[in-house]
Structure 1
Amino acid sequence: MKSNPLVRPFLKWAGGKRQLLPEIRKYVPKLTSKQTYYEPFIGGGALLFELQHPKAVINDSNRELINCYKVIRDSLDELIEELSKDKYTNSEMYYYGMRDLDRSTKEYENLSEVEKAARIIYLNKTCYNGLFRVNSQGQFNVPFGRYKNPNILDNAVLRAVNKYLKRDTIELLTQDFAKAVQSAKRGDFIYFDPPYDPVSETASFTGYDVNGFNRDEQKRLKEEFDALHKRGCKVMLSNSCTDFIRDLYNDYQYTIIKVRATRSINSNALKRGRVDEVLVLNYEIPAQ
């Protein structure tokens, strides 16, 4: 089936893979329609939408994010109607009023699922540098972006993503990453794109999860990587090129490939630019 170029990320995402896709595609194994694609840390979904595989299990622990995917799949017309309202203006005052809704539990809980999804899309398109970031209380805390004319409602992309997600062979989950891959079987392909191991004590490209993702979680992810390998699954992982990650996956049966990524989204301007990342594979590199 020919892929639809309009099926692409509907959110800007810190740590997103759009600019690395040509490199990642080189290492994606060939999949049949019977095999399932798993992405347990979906984020913006760049590789999912690039591949448009007919069978997929999509997961993220970020409930607000998965709610956006579900609303686009199940309630697209209502979402478009909501985002079309005049109130979604690119103004600093309205932005901070919308951002601060999650400071009031009662006010936030009174929002419908469609309104919650519209809020996240609006904030994402108008916030500074496209960061999805929450503080220790789980509150969105990115400042206003001051863009001249952000495209808050991208009708064509939302409709294309809706058409792809509506397939009954696409499953959306909000679980721990290990639970999300429990059904994976021999030959299935799993792409792990977790919050990255920080390259310094203060650096973090993907700090969107209120619970964080520390090195104990990285070790638990490595255990899941090993378990999937033993099960006969094909597994690819992205992460930062730190000594910790390279040592963690320094196993004779895995291949570590260093790639250069351009990071244009980070709260610290000094941490944007060219950075080293790694891809870890448990299978032979596909022939080009």
Structure 2
Amino acid sequence: MVPFIKWAGGKRQLLPELRKLMPKREEIGTYYEPFIGGGALLFDFQPRKAVINDMNKELIHAYKMLNSHKKYFRLLELLILMETAHNEEFFKDIRSLDRLSEETGRGMIFNNFSEQLRAARFIYLNKAGFNGMYRVNSSGYYNVPSGKKDKVKTYEYPNIEKVSNYLSRKEGNKKLVKIRNTDFAKALHDIQPGDFVYFDPPYDYEEGVNGFDAYQKGGFGRKGQIKLAKLCKKLDDMGVKFMLSNNNTRFIRNLYEEFEVNIVKARRSINSNGGGRGKVEEVIVRNYE
């Protein structure tokens, strides 16, 4: 089982390194991932109980549609329709939907669209847009150019069904995978000793390096990195195991100097220009051996 979307900073190519450093499955209570993104580690590890979160509302809409069998089938219907209708003009029309407002006189405003339509739009743009990027401008509008594709395949079968089956599992009437859309710290409000967290935040960059930090309006920045490091220290004091990925920068090494730090090679596959792709060094931080 693999991610159903392409995502900046996706961890598929780092899975061999992450697997080596993960705690044993039987040692984990609930698995938390507050920056879920494409969910490569979640879908590879497949913990029995999980809490996943992201600040990106459109991404979370997509996860929620796959978290329900009824909504999943409607989502597939919409994706097939979008694949059939795909051309450059259609791409631009779908991309511009988040710019609709009550003042435009162009029908329903974007926030009133159904969750299924918003999720289908998100997945379609992810597959049809340039290099699988998701980026918004300062107004929060999706602004990735077209990938100039004659045909678009919005999902892989049976992978997407496996993803939906995993996300929609229940124990009694309770979902085993909870999906949240909030701040990364608030997403952990009910975490307990013995649980495990994997953090894959927007990455830090050395000064003068143009990084990718536009997953949602407002970005993350070094204030976010400092807030996250303080949270990790709090989790350590609570008896919660965590693992964290980030760029190998001096700033990040200093933030986590009291913890285990492994340096690994990674390949960047998503960037707005070819010069931003290639092999780089990343760190994997842990509070356990």
Report the TM-score when normalising by structure 1: 0.91
> What residue number does 2:42 align with?
48
> What residue number does 1:90 align with?
86
Say whether residues 1:70 and 2:64 are aligned partners: yes
Counterpart contact for 1:80–1:155, Cα < 8 Å: no
Once the two structures are overlaid, the 10-residue window that deviates more, 98-107 or 136-145, is 98-107
> What residue number does 1:191 align with?
198
* Alpha-carbon distance between aligned partners in 2 of 1:60 and 1:84, rounded to the nearest angstrom: 26
Counterpart contact for 1:57–1:170, Cα < 8 Å: yes
* Alpha-carbon distance between aligned partners in 2 of 1:69 and 1:219, rounded to the nearest angstrom: 28
> What residue number does 2:124 align with?
122
> For 1:84, what is the secondary structure of its paired residue?
helix
* Alpha-carbon distance between aligned partners in 2 of 1:176 and 1:237, rounded to the nearest angstrom: 17
State the Cα deviation string for residues 190-218 of structure 1 (Å, max 9, x = none): 00000001244352234212121011111
* Alpha-carbon distance between aligned partners in 2 of 1:97 and 1:267, rounded to the nearest angstrom: 22
> What residue number does 1:103 align with?
99
Counterpart contact for 1:128–1:146, Cα < 8 Å: yes
> What residue number does 1:264 align with?
269
> What residue number does 2:252 align with?
245
Q: Give the alignment partner of residue 10 of structure 2, picking from 8, 16, 20.
A: 16
State the Cα deviation string for residues 64-101 of structure 1 (Å, max 9, x = none): 11110001112101101111216653321111111011
> For 1:190, what is the secondary structure of its paired residue?
strand
State the Cα deviation string for residues 109-136 of structure 1 (Å, max 9, x = none): 3421100000000000010011111111
Counterpart contact for 2:83–2:153, Cα < 8 Å: no
Once the two structures are overlaid, the 10-residue window that deviates more, 164-173 or 114-123, is 164-173
Once the two structures are overlaid, the 10-residue window that deviates more, 102-111 or 255-264, is 102-111
Counterpart contact for 1:225–1:235, Cα < 8 Å: yes
State how many pairs are aligned.
Answer: 276
Counterpart contact for 1:84–1:153, Cα < 8 Å: no
Matched to 2:4, the amino acid is: F
| Matching of residues 228-239 of structure 1 within 5 Å | 228-239=235-246
Structure 2: state its 5+ residue gaps.
Answer: 103-108, 170-174
| Matching of residues 22-37 of structure 1 within 5 Å | 22-32=16-26, 35-37=29-31
* Alpha-carbon distance between aligned partners in 1 of 2:28 and 2:17, rounded to the nearest angstrom: 25
- Residues 88/212 of structure 1: CA separation in 2 closer, same or farther (3 Å cut): farther
Once the two structures are overlaid, the 10-residue window that deviates more, 264-273 or 86-95, is 86-95
Counterpart contact for 2:135–2:216, Cα < 8 Å: yes
- Residues 35/213 of structure 1: CA separation in 2 closer, same or farther (3 Å cut): same
Q: Give the alignment partner of residue 55 of structure 2, picking from 32, 38, 61.
A: 61
> What residue number does 1:223 align with?
230
* Alpha-carbon distance between aligned partners in 2 of 1:23 and 1:197, rounded to the nearest angstrom: 20
Structure 1: state its 5+ residue gaps.
Answer: 1-6
| Matching of residues 171-190 of structure 1 within 5 Å | 171-190=178-197
Matched to 1:134, the amino acid is: V
Counterpart contact for 1:261–1:274, Cα < 8 Å: yes
> What residue number does 1:282 align with?
287
> For 2:25, what is the secondary structure of its paired residue?
coil
C-alpha deviation, 1:184, in angstroms: 1.7
* Alpha-carbon distance between aligned partners in 1 of 2:85 and 2:149, rounded to the nearest angstrom: 12
> What residue number does 1:81 align with?
77
> For 2:281, what is the secondary structure of its paired residue?
strand
> For 1:177, what is the secondary structure of its paired residue?
coil
Identity over the aligned pairs, expressed in percent?
A: 47
C-alpha deviation, 1:153, in angstroms: 3.3
